[in-house]
Amino acid sequence: MSTVTPPSRLQQLIYAKDGSLTRDLLLYPGEYGLGKVPAGAKPNGTTTSVCGFCSTGCGLELHMKDGQAVNLSPAVDWPVNLGMACPKGWESITVLKAHDRATQPLLKGADGKLAPVSWDEAMKTFCARFKDIQAKHGNDSVAFLSTGQIATEEMFFLGSLAKFGMGMLHGDGNTRQCMATAVVSYKESFGFDAPPFTYADFEESDVLVFVGSNLCIAHPIMWERVLRNPHDPKIIVIDPRRTETAVAATHHLPLRPKTDMALLYTIANELIQRGWIDESYIASHTNGFDQFKQHVAPYQLEDSLANCGLEPSAVMEVIQAIHDGQRVSFWWTMGVNQSHQGVRTAQAIINLALMTGNIGRPGTGANSITGQCNAMGSRLFSNTTNLVGGHDFTKEEDRQKIADILDIPVVNIPTENSWSYDGIMEGIRRGDIRGLWVIATNPAHSWIHQQEAKETLEKLDFLVVQDMYHSTETAVLADLMLPAAGWGEKEGTFINSERRHGLHKKVVPAPGEALADFQIFRLVSHYWGCDSMFSDWKTPEDVFQVMKKCSAGQPCDITGIRDYRMLDDARGIQWPTKEAESSGDDWMPQPQRRLFEDGQYFHPDGKARFIFEQPEAPGEVPNDAFPLHLLTGRGTAAQWHTQTKTSKSAVLRTLYSTTLLVDINPQDADALMIEPHDWVQVQSARGEIRARANVTSSVQPGHVFLPMHNEVTNQLTYPQFDAYSRQPSYKNAAVRIVKSV
Ligand code: SF4
């Protein structure tokens, strides 16, 4: 007696009306996922997954009941978090259950309103509109903006589909907003985008220098690792604000905003003048030191007050601490990356590590801390700024290598680089780009100079937004909204700040008709007519195996990672892990691996480079009309970016003020006759917002601070970009404060 398999829920939802799709395409949505959680999960047991919020990459244990996760706890045996999690991680499941989850495709009708349509109609409309735009205006007239929030395999699929299948040239990601500066600085200095550290370094250092990093709040589990440090370390914080991290530090240098390059050059010069450098390391492993030495010679310690607003004695204490340290580590995040000279500032940090020989040893390094859970995946495998696997679109041998691995014609691979995010926005304003596909990011909230960003998106002929939530500031502008599954509702891998690939799994069903981004890309490839190019990519793990091949021979080589099960069993594996290292089926790499232990960098001569430049004032500084310097940044450990997820948790909402607060120094508040909690208007040349005054000495006189999470903050920010990384400078705008009546 033959048995007829009933169509799965998704088969019924997506394909019943059309019926034209192949069995092969149906396999992934129908057969994989809930109930077949990979790597050892049991319907009523516990399985592990890497967290989907920030780049720390904590391991979580998901507790399953009847095949679904009902609760979670931090994984004790995960080499990242060692049994700890921050509030966001604890609430990872809660935020999936929000009322504004996108559950059906939505298409804008003639009345200008979004209305539900079938996936079949959504896909036909998507392809027809984009192909029509390409036919009229050229292939490059459609573009995509991706994210650091989806799985590496999904990024790989999207980038391959868009560029090799759909003929797009331009695609970038929201990682431009957080990590582009670190990418460019590492590439130029080390020869590859290679953060050298491992989290054990937080515990190994005897001196930790944080530049523009409020680790306590932005990366609380990394801060916990600092607190475990048994060496009674000196902790130096370089930040205009007296942040939570600065309060806990042994030394705080509250410099004037955007004078960090001058300060770092001053420190370098003083170290050189005193002979407190590692001449042997410099000679053996670097290039350009003599020119650097000349460049920093004018940066005298006694000028610190004039140049940076810092007492020379305070700067000297830090220089002495760096000299006295045996294992000095330098860390930076958005205070450096989001700067008009971010790349050269990051390289000023790298230069300090190189000249003092503080790299490649435990507890050392010039270490960029990433933002999003998969920013590193985006940097290496999204096919945006690099050809996948850290390759170069402009190099013929790289294009041929990838074409051979993917078995596609090499002519399908663009020979030039994409425009960066700001270039894509500029292209829309000029009318060169008319169709845009936005995946898991929210530029109408997060892009700098928000009003201009919204007006830019409204110029598009066709805007497709693919997201978990239909309510984001960008989704409501969409012509077509595609409902996506989120973390926990699909599987794939992320790469964290210390280069660790970690597996996340499907442990709950996606709501309604929402699909994994991976499935959506499969659907698009089918309706576009290029699915034969990706016919072997049926599951994320299939794509992971392709990623491995693309990484072969690169600094980010992961050919030694056998499969998802190995990743799961190891609790994540750092790159590089080469096939040649492995020794048998049960081989596991060391859980903590740092780069440059042999002093060999990725430039052809094996040496790192000293790179430097003259500091310049930012494009906008406080003036008579707008006398205050606006700083923006992370609000609390319970908030994440544009709050599309974290605002959905009642627990998290109790951990931050839902009223927008602007931090203002007591001196400025007195001068403006502002009392704590008064309503005020914060005004810049670009906009005006309302907030309550938080009178606090955590900001200096003349400075104010706003959390980036509120939807109005970027109405004020000033659109300036680093010349090399094109990363927006979110932390310098001139504003004034007026008491509300
Ligand atoms: Fe998740 Fe980051 Fe919190 Fe860890 S620190 S639990 S990775 S959000």
pLDDT along the chain (741 residues), means of 10: 44 44 38 38 78 95 87 94 94 93 96 94 96 98 96 97 97 93 97 97 98 95 96 98 97 97 98 98 98 98 96 98 98 96 98 98 96 91 94 97 97 97 97 98 94 96 97 97 94 96 91 92 94 92 96 97 92 94 84 95 98 96 97 90 88 91 98 97 97 97 95 95 96 95 76
479 phi/psi in degrees, rounded to 5: -85, -30
Residue type, 561: I
- Separation CA 47–CA 43 (nearest Å): 9
> Residue 618: CB within 6 Å of ligand 1?
no
Q: How far is CA 249 from CA 203, 215, 246, 593, in A?
A: 15, 11, 5, 27
SS3 415: coil
> Residue 161: CB within 6 Å of ligand 1?
no
Ligand 1: atom nearest CA of 219 is 5
- Separation CA 313–CA 317 (nearest Å): 6
Residue 90 Cα to ligand 1 midpoint, Å, equals 8
**Pocket of ligand 1, candidates 48, 55, 56: which has the most ligand atoms within 8 Å of its Cβ, to mutate?**
56
Residue 92 Cα to ligand 1 midpoint, Å, equals 9
Ligand 1: atom nearest CA of 221 is 5
Task: Confirm if 259 and 615 have CB atoms less than 8 A apart.
Answer: yes
Do the domains 628-739 and 196-368 match in fold?
A: no
525 phi/psi in degrees, rounded to 5: -60, -35
- Helix, strand, coil fractions of the chain, as percent rounded to 5: 35, 20, 45
- Separation CA 361–CA 357 (nearest Å): 9
Ligand 1: atom nearest CA of 60 is 6
Q: How far is CA 91 from CA 52, 95, 593, 627, 704, in A?
A: 11, 7, 30, 40, 31
Please say whether the dihedral angle defined by the alpha carbons of residues 434, 711, 85 and 468, taken in this order, is positive or negative: negative
- Separation CA 641–CA 645 (nearest Å): 9
- Separation CA 395–CA 647 (nearest Å): 44
Q: Report the DSSP beta bridge partners of residue 694.
A: 663
* Token pair recorded at residue 189: 């200095």
> Residue 54: CB within 6 Å of ligand 1?
yes
- How is 71-129 classified by DSSP, letter by letter? EEEE-TT-TTTTT---HHHHTTTGGGG-TTB--S-EEE-TTS-EEE--HHHHHHHHHHH
SS3 734: strand
Q: How far is CA 601 from CA 189, 205, 390, 553, in A?
A: 9, 22, 15, 15
Find the angle CA(240)-CA(242)-CA(244) to the nearest 5 degrees: 130
Q: Given the structure tokens 């007519």, which residue do they identify?
A: 529
- Separation CA 5–CA 269 (nearest Å): 74
Please say whether the dihedral angle defined by the alpha carbons of residues 662, 668, 671 and 676, taken in this order, is positive or negative: positive
Please say whether the dihedral angle defined by the alpha carbons of residues 8, 14, 15 and 20, taken in this order, is positive or negative: negative
- Separation CA 288–CA 292 (nearest Å): 6
Look at residues 242, 232, 239, 182 and name the one whose alpha carbon lies nearest to residue 210: 239
> Residue 608: CB within 6 Å of ligand 1?
no
- Separation CA 106–CA 122 (nearest Å): 8
Residue of minimum CA distance from atom 3 in ligand 1: 86
DSSP secondary-structure letter at 139?
A: G
- Separation CA 69–CA 91 (nearest Å): 12
Q: The domain at 106-178+374-532 falls in which architecture? A: 3-Layer(aba) Sandwich (3.40)
Task: Confirm if 236 and 321 have CB atoms less than 8 A apart.
Answer: yes
Instruction: Determine which helix (DSSP H) or strand (DSSP E) holds 270, and give its type and residue range.
Output: helix 260-273
Ligand 1: atom nearest CA of 496 is 7
> Residue 57: CB within 6 Å of ligand 1?
yes
Buried b (16+ CB within 10 A) or exposed e, 567-592: bbbbbbbbbbbbeeebeeeeeebebb
Task: Confirm if 732 and 620 have CB atoms less than 8 A apart.
Answer: yes
Ordered by start, the domain boundaries in the chain are 106-178+374-532, 196-368, 628-739
For the structural domain made of 196-368, what CATH number should be given? Answer: 3.40.228.10
Residue of minimum CA distance from atom 1 in ligand 1: 89
Query: Parallel, antiparallel, or unpaired: how do β-strands 628-633 and 703-707 relate?
Result: parallel
Residue of minimum CA distance from atom 6 in ligand 1: 89
Query: Parallel, antiparallel, or unpaired: how do β-strands 688-695 and 679-683 relate?
Result: antiparallel
Ligand 1: atom nearest CA of 80 is 4
* Token pair recorded at residue 662: 């602007």
Task: Confirm if 592 and 199 have CB atoms less than 8 A apart.
Answer: yes
- Separation CA 452–CA 428 (nearest Å): 11
Buried b (16+ CB within 10 A) or exposed e, 121-152: ebbebbbebbbebbeebebbbbbbbbbbbbbb
Q: The domain at 628-739 falls in which architecture? A: Beta Barrel (2.40)
According to the model, what pLDDT value does residue 39 have? 40
- Separation CA 69–CA 95 (nearest Å): 13
Residue 523 Cα to ligand 1 midpoint, Å, equals 32
DSSP secondary-structure letter at 260?
A: H
Residue of minimum CA distance from atom 2 in ligand 1: 54
Q: Residue 82: count other Cβ atoms within 10 Å of its Cβ.
A: 17
Please say whether the dihedral angle defined by the alpha carbons of residues 263, 268, 272 and 275, taken in this order, is positive or negative: positive
> Residue 95: CB within 6 Å of ligand 1?
no
* Token pair recorded at residue 441: 């990011």
- Separation CA 466–CA 510 (nearest Å): 14
* Token pair recorded at residue 200: 């054990």
Ligand 1: atom nearest CA of 220 is 5
Ligand 1: atom nearest CA of 81 is 4
1: Cβ–Cβ under 8 A, 6 or more apart, which residues? Answer: none
> Residue 85: CB within 6 Å of ligand 1?
yes
- Separation CA 610–CA 351 (nearest Å): 6
Task: Confirm if 679 and 504 have CB atoms less than 8 A apart.
Answer: no
Buried b (16+ CB within 10 A) or exposed e, 382-419: bbbbbbbbbbebeeeebbebbbebbebeeebbbeebbb
Residue type, 553: G
The pTM is what? 0.94
Q: Which stretches of 577-627 are assigned E, i.e. beta strand?
A: 608-609
Q: Which segments of 325-420 does DSSP mark as H helices, in order?
A: 334-337, 342-355, 375-381, 396-406
